Structure 1
Amino acid sequence: MIAQVVPILLAFGANLGDRGETIRAAQRELAGAPGIAGFAASPLRETIALTPQGPDPDAPRYLNGVATAETTLAPHALLDLLQSVEHAHGRVRGAHWGDRTLDIDLILFGGRVIKDERLTVPHPRGHERDFVLSPWLDLDPSAVLMGHGRVSELLARIGDTTSPLDEPSGPATETGGGTSDG
């Protein structure tokens, strides 16, 4: 049986430790993982921490980025991989929307809609988060978020509070295993 190849969109965030190196290391690990190919990462962007009460300018700032890839993994197997990478980088699941060394969200899994006790795809708040939409536009200016429309229009509607990060080695637009059009 031939495994189905599914395009995915992942979102990365960190506001503790060496945020940029943690995200880039996690991206390299995922790019080299079995069942993942064509991994392309956006430039990183910095944002104010978002809490259940709203933006918190006093909390450590986040670095965020997204990546596109293709996978032959089933959705929950991919989620297990993402959570194992988070754990390897010191992720502790505590307070909802709390500070973290690494957060990896599965935003899209092909055209599938998944909603169960472990996974909701498309991500239920991806369309209202500039820290997902802005780096996604950096990676793919013609991106469309399933069920919500053009990413450029979504970002224009909510506003962009992110700021580009000046990465010494430049953005990781391609991280092994495939080619990038961007």
Structure 2
Amino acid sequence: MSKDMDAAAHTAYIALGGNLGDAAATVRRAFAALAALPQTRLLAASSLYRSAPVDASGPDFINAAASVATGLTPLQLLDALQAIETAEGRQRPWRNAPRTLDLDLLLYGNQRLDTPRLTLPHPRMLQRAFVLWPLAEIAPERVPPEALAAVAGQAIERLP
């Protein structure tokens, strides 16, 4: 492992997406930023996918998923993800506004958490093809087949 990693590392899964600027390049930079986090090692990065906005506006999104081994706590990891978003120019003028980068912590091991800042597992992950398809690519065991079937009507395209 890297950078002060210890045996107490947890596997976390993160959804990545953006629909402003060169979103594909931004998501690729975010993979590198995840790999550079302290006490963290990038385990897997999915392909890039294109999807129409869901509960949001603006151009199509570029989406992906990543898994990391991390010694950070869930809230420390959330803070680190939000710092990466900010470094990529993320602004939050209104809920579900178009964005340069959105990083959502989906799963942190098997931990369940419900706080004002963070809910684990992510409460809407099983409702969104743009989360499930990239996640199924890197961690098929974490995506129930019935969840994929439930989002089969949502348009999503894996990019070459």
TM over 0.5: yes
**Equivalence for 1:86:** 85
How is 1:1-182 mapped onto 2 (pairs within 5 angstroms)?
4-51=8-55, 59-140=58-139, 142-145=140-143, 150=144, 152-159=145-152, 160-166=154-160
More helix by share: 2
How many angstroms apart in 1 are the aligned matches of 2:16 and 2:42? 17
1:113 deviates by 0.6
Return 5+ residue gaps in structure 1 as ranges: 167-182
Answer yes or no: is the 8 Å Cα contact 2:16–2:65 preserved in 1: yes
How many angstroms apart in 2 are the aligned matches of 1:121 and 1:94? 25
How many angstroms apart in 2 are the aligned matches of 1:51 and 1:156? 20
Return 5+ residue gaps in structure 2 as ranges: 1-5
How many angstroms apart in 2 are the aligned matches of 1:86 and 1:144? 25
How many angstroms apart in 2 are the aligned matches of 1:76 and 1:16? 26
1:29 deviates by 1.1
Q: Which runs of 4+ in 1 moved over 4 A?
A: none
Find the residue that maps to 1:49 and give its secondary structure.
coil
Answer yes or no: is the 8 Å Cα contact 1:136–1:143 preserved in 2: no
How many angstroms apart in 2 are the aligned matches of 1:38 and 1:158? 27
**Equivalence for 1:180:** none
1:25–1:38 Cα change, 3 Å:
closer
How many angstroms apart in 2 are the aligned matches of 1:17 and 1:36? 27
- Normalising by structure 1, what TM-score? 0.80
